[in-house]
Structure 1
Amino acid sequence: MAMEKIENNEKAQSSFRESLPQILAVSIKNVLLLIHGMSLGFTTILIPGVSGNDINEPILLGQEEISWIGSINLIFVPLGCVFSGTLTQIVGRKKAMQFVNIPFLTAWLLFYFSTASWHIFLAASLLGWSGGLLEAPVLTYVAEITQPHLRGILSSTSTMSVTLGMLSQFILGAALDWRTVTLVNCVLPLISFCLLMLIPETPVWLLTKNRHEEAKKSIAWLRGWTSVENILEEYQELYAQIKVREEVDNSFRGILKNKVKNIKLFGQKNFLWPCLLVSFAFFLGHFNGYSPFQVYAIKIFQALHAPLNEYYSTIIVGVVQLLGTSISVGLIHVFGKRILNFISLFGSGVCVLIVATYSYVYNITDFEDTSNSITNATLTGPLDSEPHTWIPVVFLTLFGFLSYVGIKILPWVLIGEIFAVEIRATASGVSAAIGYLFGFTANKTFLHMVSSFTLPVVFWVYGAVGVIGTVVLYFVLPETEGKSLYEISEHFAGRGKLKNSVRKGNKQQYGCSNSAFEHDEKDDKFESRL
């Protein structure tokens, strides 16, 4: 019995030592996502600062200019996403992440020293471009350094980091003016740049560049800071999977042939199917109504006569998002992505339908501008005489929580694991760009839809998207939790079939004692199920 306890303790220590470097690497990567979240949340505290509330502020923007501050960021994010994949493939995941800190720092400094409106727009555009530029490296980095049993939970921490960054801006904005906040924000890019020096490049990218010794050291670092000798078998199998050629055709004809081959990959099933699935997940995450709610939360609460002021509404939005992502991180490895997202999407849809019905019953139809540019609802019903104003507060808060339990996180997790390794970096950037375009469209069309169809109808549409989307997702979303990248890739290539159950305790690595590596006698090659 004593020997058995000792063996169990040794196994637990070995497992912890093996997982720790992966957790540390992802945590360091998440500092960059924290900065991205700060850039998204900064708009909320910037707008009041340049709207005339501060008599000492030299920059004063009109309503038309202010209307673009919240959207110009989203316009430039897809542009950054387009360059993201190419940069990541050329310089590597690690260096690409380090590079992104430079434009982030430049944007914060430009905000702080701005003296004209065009400085504000340039800085906001630079923040958006930087946010898009980080998508491919951070997503592919997680996918290529984590083992299957850790990938789901560690991928989920990405959204938590972004949400925490947004919440930090709401809290800082309540205590400091917006220029001082930008100065505080300058510290994070410097910290991120330095911390990224401590983690290795992914062995997958290193092998594609024929940097074999560095790939060995990377695997050894990620496997618990062990010696290179202990991971040689694993390295050989990963080498076989990547099929790295020692002699590369660097002639013009060879480079052109390779480019054409890569372009053709984007017309194959293993790109089109995953891309459509990720795009659909982004569509559901934005058009279930939460993206417009997040932007127009104050106006919506005011329209529904909710007993909340601007400060508390922004804090509540940030807190419920963070709580939802925290719950998702804790439960995704237990319940898997399918169940969490069914609960998230269906539950958020029901919440919106309840708020829509509430708006209809009390005849809250639309928004109309006042001289103070504060949007209020056209109210002709008996709302003021009824003690039910807590209903929209409760269900909109629950709506935010449920959205971040699953559907707002799902596409970002899928991006990092369902694309084939040959196109993963570029496909990640393209998919993220599509997601941000959906977000921009949802936010831009909200006020127009409300004025054209009334608030209850718009909310009913959002609720229907959530409920119907749950049914569609049931048939198209495979369970990838605990599955290897090889199995996932084979599923989307049509050569395999994933079971809709969570695989627990899967500790497959790149290769060492990994039965997932199978020899294909016909092609005389190895395939990895990383």
Structure 2
Amino acid sequence: MGVGMQCFAALACSFGSLIMGALYSWPSYTLDLYTSPNTTLLSAPMTELESSLVGSLPSLGAMVGSSIAGLTINTIGRQKGGVVLALPFVLSWAIIGQTSSSIVVLVARFISGIGGGAFLVFAPIFISEIAEDSIRGFLASGPVALYCLGSLISYMCGWFLSYRAIIWANLAGSVLCVVLCFLVVESPLYLLRQNREEDARQAIAKYRGATPSSKIVLEELSRMKAQITPAVELVSVKQDANEKNAEEAEKEKLQPDNEKTVHEDIPEEPKMSTLKLLFLSPASRRAFEVVATALSLQVFMGIVPVMVYANTLFAQAAPNLSSNFCSVLFAIVLTSACLITAVIADRAGRRILIISSSVMVAVTMATLGFLLQTSFAPTWMSAVVILLYCFAFNFGAGTVPYVLLSEVFVPEVQGLASMLLIEWIWFLNFVIVAVFPFASKLLGIHGMFYVFGVVAVVNAVVSYLRVPETKGLSNVQIQEALLGKRK
């Protein structure tokens, strides 16, 4: 019962990623309809710049969404906040369904990005607050898996459904996202911050499948109280500076009156702002560096432009094969890789997945670049290698950074860190999607794949040197690992 409730909450807060996956894949089979000189969908065909913006504008909208997500869910709660953050999806598809103007379509695409960016911040925060350590990796893989599932559904719709039917299908999915968020149980950590201890205890009981008075619920309540105590992180910073041992630090954190006092030889300090806490705490600063690096390198391994321009890429790589068929296979491979990662993330570990995934991406990108440059093999081989690349990427490099995002930060800085990192990632996504058509003309498609392969090699090396193993660790243990105190 408790695990089922956690899974449902993870599904609800990750469902926006499914909508975003469909939204990003939509231009792949729609741009030809919009740019055709004989188009009947728009009052005038889209220009090259407008067609580029169709794919890239959601990333700019996502920057707005990720900036307001934390404030929204901290002000009105995770449940109501999720409902509000899903509304841009509904609005955008309703607008697209009624317009024949290119400019209005672009505005709607920007609006839809607001929801996508917001959910990418919302999901890691919510999951980190309700998930048990033993299944945290599985649940944290949900947003990426649902993003890929959304792409699969979208590509299939593009293959079999009409333009209008696809729009109404996306609108229905957006409404479902609102409903799912409305049905979730509020985060107990949020309730504690609102001084609603009894409601928090009831919420914990539902998420753990136990009675409100049971030992497991009371222990979880006590642990959450300690988590939201600002003094805990301040003590950790001060102790690190004075080289105190981990056992003494753990005893201080477990003191019943920890909210009011710190170690007797450490003077009381005023509450540190969240921003200072993020960058002055050694553990939080290290966590931010690790996740920012992993996410940035992930973007430049090329999966987003490949998804947006999937039909075009397959048409160039394998002109004898149906581009719709190849795009559906592409999404199936992405989804399969995400599901496999979700199942084994809590068994294999984070580091081995991201390193092995990056190595495989490098090999496939080098192979694909060589095949396209030399025409050494039949064209269908290029399509196969693209699919292998997609599997390799989502097997670890495309998934693990978001798992890390949901687990390496203390609750006090989780919201701010998620917002800053997702803002940065959406900006990078906008840049790479907007630049990709022009860069591929300059370097050739094969040249772009060589670039992606080099970035994958860098990601493997950096992950080996910098990413800590967090499998099965509690939040306190992860902070110790970030400081190098765990082997």
> Same fold by TM (over 0.5)?
yes
Deviation at 1:455, TM superposition (A): 4.2
More displaced 10-residue stretch of structure 1: 191-200 or 72-81: 191-200
2:273 — aligned with what? 261
1:199 to partner: Cα distance: 2.3
Match of 1:45 among 14, 19, 29: 29
In the TM superposition, 1:93-112 aligns within 5 A as 93-112=78-97
What TM-score comes out, normalization by structure 1 length?
0.79
Q: Does 1:152 align with 2:137?
A: yes
Alignment partner for residue 87 of structure 1, among 58, 65, 72?
72
Q: Which residue of 2 is the match for residue 195 of structure 1?
A: 180
Take 2:357 and 2:407, find their aligned partners in 1: how far apart are those partners? 21
Query: Contact 1:88–1:425 (CA<8 Å) still a contact in 2?
Result: no
- Give the deviation of 1:302 after TM superposition: 3.6
The separation in 1 between residues aligned to 2:184 and 2:134, in whole angstroms, is 20
Residue 407 of structure 1: how far off its partner (Å) = 0.7
CA distance in 2, matches of 1:464, 1:97: 38
**2:207 counterpart residue number:** 222
Partner SS, residue 407 of structure 2: coil
Matched, 1:497 2:482: no
Q: Residue 393 of structure 2 corresponds to which residue in structure 1?
A: 403
Name the aligned partner's letter for residue 356 of structure 1. G
Structure 2 residue identity aligned to 1:24:
F
The alignment status of 1:137 with 2:150, answered yes or no, reads no
Correspondent of 2:189 among 189, 204, 215: 204
Question: Does structure 1 retain, via aligned residues, the 8 Å contact 2:353–2:400?
Answer: no
Q: Secondary structure at the match of 1:427?
A: helix
Provide the secondary structure at the position in 1 that maps to 2:195: coil
**Alpha-carbon shift at residue 28 of structure 1 (Å):** 2.9
Instruction: Report the AA paired with residue 162 of structure 2.
Output: D
- Relative to its length, the structure with more helix (as a share) is 2
Q: Distance in 2 between matches of 1:498 and 1:48?
A: 54
Instruction: Give yes or no for contact 2:358–2:457 (8 Å, CA) kept in 1.
Output: yes
Q: Is the 8 A contact 1:86 1:426 kept in 2?
A: no
**Residues 180-329 of structure 1 mapped to structure 2, 5 A cutoff:** 180-230=165-215, 231-243=217-229, 261-268=273-280, 269-329=282-342
- Provide the C-alpha distance between the structure 2 equivalents of 1:451 and 1:189, rounded to a whole number of angstroms: 36
Choose 92-101 or 140-149, whichever is displaced more.
Answer: 92-101
Deviates more, 1:291-300 or 1:391-400: 291-300
The alpha-carbon deviation at position 185 of structure 1 amounts to 2.0
- State which drifts further: 439-448 or 64-73: 439-448
Matches within 5 A, 1:335-414: 335-360=348-373, 362=374, 383=375, 388-414=378-404
**Structure 2 alignment gaps of length 5 or more:** 232-256, 260-269
The residue type equivalent to 1:357 in the other structure is F
Q: Which amino acid aligns with 2:81?
A: A
Return the alpha-carbon distance in structure 1 between the equivalents of residues 126 and 396 of structure 2: 21
Q: Does 1:434 align with 2:424?
A: yes
Cα separation, partners in 2 of 1:101 and 1:18, compared to 1, 3 Å: closer
Q: 1:445 and 1:399 mapped to 2: Cα distance? A: 21
The answer on whether the counterparts of 2:350 and 2:471 sit within 8 Å (CA) in structure 1 is yes
TM-aligned CA deviation for residue 35 of structure 1: 2.0
SS of the residue corresponding to residue 483 of structure 1 reads coil
Which amino acid in structure 2 is aligned with residue 219 of structure 1?
I
Contact 1:279 1:431 survives alignment (8 Å): yes
What is the alpha-carbon root mean square deviation over aligned residues?
2.5
Output one character per residue of 1:256-300: Cα deviation in whole Å (capped at 9) or x when no partner: x86x62232232233332222222112222212333322333333
Q: Look up the SS of the partner of 2:320 in the other structure.
A: coil
Partners of 2:430 and 2:476 lie apart in 1 by 34
Q: Which amino acid aligns with 1:294?
A: M
Structure 2 distance, partners of 1:446, 1:325, is 25
The residue identity in structure 2 corresponding to 1:175 is F
| Comparing 171-180 and 204-213, the one that deviates more | 171-180
5+ residue gaps, structure 1, are: 1-16, 249-256, 363-382, 500-530
| Whole-Å separation in 1 of the counterparts to 2:42 and 2:146 | 33
Paired with 2:273 and 2:80, the residues of 1 have a C-alpha distance of 26
- Which position in structure 2 is the counterpart of 1:459? 449
- Distance (Å, rounded) in 1 between the aligned partners of 2:68 and 2:202: 29
Tell me the CA shift for residue 39 of structure 1: 2.0
Give the superposition deviation at 1:55. 5.0
Aligned length, in residue pairs = 448
- Give the SS at the match of 1:201: coil
Q: How far, CA to CA, are the matches of 2:317 and 2:214 in structure 1?
A: 65
Q: Contact 2:55/2:433 (CA < 8 Å) preserved in 1? A: no
1: CA distance between counterparts of 2:221 and 2:357? Answer: 40
Q: Which residue of 2 aligns with 1:479?
A: 469
269-278 or 430-439, which deviates more: 269-278
SS at match of 1:59: coil
Q: 1:460 is aligned with what amino acid?
A: Y
Q: Report if the CA contact (8 A) 2:65-2:116 is conserved.
A: yes
Paired with 1:140 and 1:284, the residues of 2 have a C-alpha distance of 22
Distance in 2 (CA, whole Å) between partners of 1:42 and 1:27 is 22
Q: Report deviation, 1:225.
A: 4.8
Would you say the 8 A contact 2:326–2:383 is kept in 1? no
| One-letter amino acid matched to 1:138 | A
Please give the per-residue CA displacement for 1:419-451, whole angstroms capped at 9, x wherever unaligned: 121111121111111112222222333344334
Contact 1:306–1:392 at 8 Å: present in 2 too? no
> Aligned letter for 2:122?
P
For the 8 Å contact 1:480–1:498, the answer to whether it is kept is no
**Shift in Å at residue 413 of structure 1?**
1.2
Question: What are the superposed Cα offsets for residues 60-111 of structure 1, whole Å, 9 maximum, x if unpaired?
Answer: 3233221211111112211211112222222222221111122211111111
Q: Distance in 1 between matches of 2:445 and 2:30?
A: 27
- Asked if residue 19 in structure 1 is aligned to residue 32 in structure 2, the reply is no
- Amino acid of the structure 1 residue aligned with 2:406: G
1:72 aligns with 2:57: yes
- CA distance in 2: counterparts of 1:115 and 1:449, whole angstroms: 30
- Kept in 2, the 8 Å contact 1:104–1:127? The answer is yes
> 1:510-529 counterparts in 2 under 5 A?
none
Which protein is bigger by CA-based radius of gyration?
1
Q: Report Cα offsets for 1:90-134 as digits up to 9, x if no partner.
A: 222222111112221111111111132222111101001111122
SS in 2 for 1:416: helix
TM-score (norm 2): 0.85
Percent of residue pairs identical: 25
